[in-house]
Structure 1
C-alpha cells in the first residue's frame, strides 16, 4: 500500500473497507507514510466496512468534515480558488439498506454547496453490463439512476479499465472497480483531470488514481478552422501564398511546399484577423462597463453611444465564434447549433485528448509507465525490427568497377495524362 501511494505521488488517499475498528496516527503512518499527517476515519463494524480519508496538510486543507453511516465527507481546499467537497462511500450489500444509503448522499449534497465529487464502492450498478451474473435488481438499478439524475452526477471517463477472464462463462468480465462521480461544476473547474485504474495486486478492487490537473505537452500543429472561409480576406491569403512560390520539377515536392507556405500564411492571418478571442471579449466588456458607469453621471456623446453599440455587437459575434471553435474541437457532429453550451464541448474535447494519450507500454513481461521508460522501450523495439546503426569496417569502391551511368533526369518529369477511353 505504501509503495503504491509513493509511486502515484498522491496527496489525498481514500481507503475503503479498512476493516479497522480503531484508526490512529500510527496506523496512518505505517500504511501511507509520514507525509500524511491528517485523516478522518469511519470505524468498521467488526471486520466489515470502514473508510479512511488521509491527506498531506502541506498540499490540501480540510476546514470541515462529516462522518455518516456509509460515507466520509471532507471539504478540500487546494490553493486559492480550488475548493470542492469529496465524499468517500462504501455502500451496503444489503438491499434493505441501500435506500438509506442513497438518502444519506442526498442529505450530504443538500448540506454542501459548490463542486462535489463522490467516489468509492457503491455496491450499485447503473446498467446490466456492470453485473457479472444474471441476478440483477432492476428496481435498485432504477433508483440509482434516478439518484444520479437528481444530483446531476456524471461518471468520470476511466482510462485503463481492466478485464479478467472467467473460466465458468468463457468470456471476459469486468473486475471490481470503484467509481468516481462528479457534478458539472467540478468538471468545469478541472478540465484537465485524468482518472485511471491501477493494478489490483493489493486488493480484489482496482484502485483509482485521479489527477485534477494534467497537462499534455504536444507540439502545436496546423488546424484548419471551418469558419475561416466565411471571413473576409481568406481567399486572398490562400491565393497569394499558393502562387508565391515558383513551380518545382517534382509535382509531389511542389504540392508539399505550397501547402506548407499556405499553412504558415493562414496561421499569421488568423493571429492578425481573429487573434485571442478571450482577450478581445474581456477588453470589450471592460469598455462597455466604463460606458455604463459614465451613463450614471452624464449622457454619452454620439461617438461614445456608437462605440458602445459596436462593442456589444462585437461581444455577441465573438461569443458565437468562440462557441463554434469549441464545437469543432470537440468533433461532435450529432448536435445541432444551440443544443449544448460551450462548456459541454470543452469538457468533451478534453476527454478526447485524454483517450488519445498513451499511459503505458508493454513489451513481453516488461511494462513502462513513465515517459522516459516508454521512449526507451519503443526505441528498443524498432531497433530490433530495423536494426541499429553500426560502423562498417569495409566499403565498396564503386568507381573501380567502371559501371555505366544511367541518366535519371527523365524520371523527374510528370507522367502524361492517359488518353480518353484508356486505362
Structure 2
C-alpha cells in the first residue's frame, strides 16, 4: 500500500492512516510527504500498530517531503535498504520462502528545476539486470496526456519521465477502479494521476496474480493505491471480546439472557458451540448500544468518499455532493481521534505513555514476572527432620555447657 498522506504531525492523522492500513491488512506500507524531520518509536507505533514494526525513514527537510516504509516482520524481512534524496530502496524477502524483490518508494519534488535530479536518481536506483524490482510513490510528474483531465501539460517533462522509465525497464501497473489519484479539492477540480506503481518484467512474473486498486482518499487529497493478491481468500470477521466490558452495567444480564436460552441438541459440544455463538452475537448488539461505533463510521465515510471520488472523474459533482465530500474529510479526522481515545480508555494499563511499549513498559512488567516464577528449593521431609534433630542436640549441649559448674570461669 502506497499513500501520500500530506503530513503526519497530528495524532488524528496518524490514527487515520493506521485505520486504513489495518482495514486493508497491509503487509508493506509506503508513505510519502510525511513532513516529519525526526522520527521516534512512538510515531511507528501510532502508524503501524502491532503489525508493522519494521521501519526505514527518509527524513523531511523542515516540513517538506519525507517518506517511510513500514513492514510486517512476521511476513517479510528487509535485508538492506538505501536512503537517497528523494527515495528509499529496500531488498524485501518473504520469511517463508525464497522469493525476494527490490522495492523503491519515491516522493518527487514539486519544483520543476529539481525534477531532472529526481529522474536521474530513479534510474540509478535500478537493481542489477534480472532481479525483480517495483517502484511506487508520489512522482509529481506524468508521462501520458490521459493522466490529467485538462490540456495544461509540460510535454518536455513528460518526455523526460518516459525516457527515464525506458532506461530503467519499467512498466506501469494500471489501477483497475480509478483513473486519477489526486484532485485539487475545488468545485471544478484539476485531477491528475501522479501516484503510480511501476515494475519490471521479473517482478511481474514473480507475482502474476496481483491486482492494483485505489482506496478512498480519506482526509488526504491523494488516494492510496493498494497492490494485493486477487486470488487470496478473504478472512471472515472474528468476534473480539473487550476486557473492559465486565466493568459496565448490564453486562452480566446480557450474558445470562444469551446463555439461558434453550438449545435443542443432544450433543454437549454442539450445545456449547451454539451458546457461545449466541453470547457473542448478543454482546455485539449490547456493545453497539453502549459505545459510539466510531470505527465503523470511519470506514463507512471512507467508502462514501471513494464513491464520490469515482463520480468526480466522470462528471462534476453537484453542490450538495461537493459539500458532503468536504464535510466527510473534516469528519474523518474527528472519528479517528475518537477511536484513538476509545482504545486508550479501554486499556487496562492507564499509565502507559506513547513510546513506552518496548522500553520502560516491558522492564516494569518483566520484573514482577521474574519474582513470580522464582520458586524456593524444597527439601525432602527426611532431610528436614534430621536437620531439626541436629539443631535440637546442639541447643541441648550448649545449654548444658553454659549451666555446668565452672563454666563461667572457663568462658572467661
Q: TM-score, normalised by structure 1?
A: 0.48
Identify the structure with bigger relative contact order (alpha carbons < 8 Å, sequence gap 6+). 2
Q: TM-score, normalised by structure 2?
A: 0.49
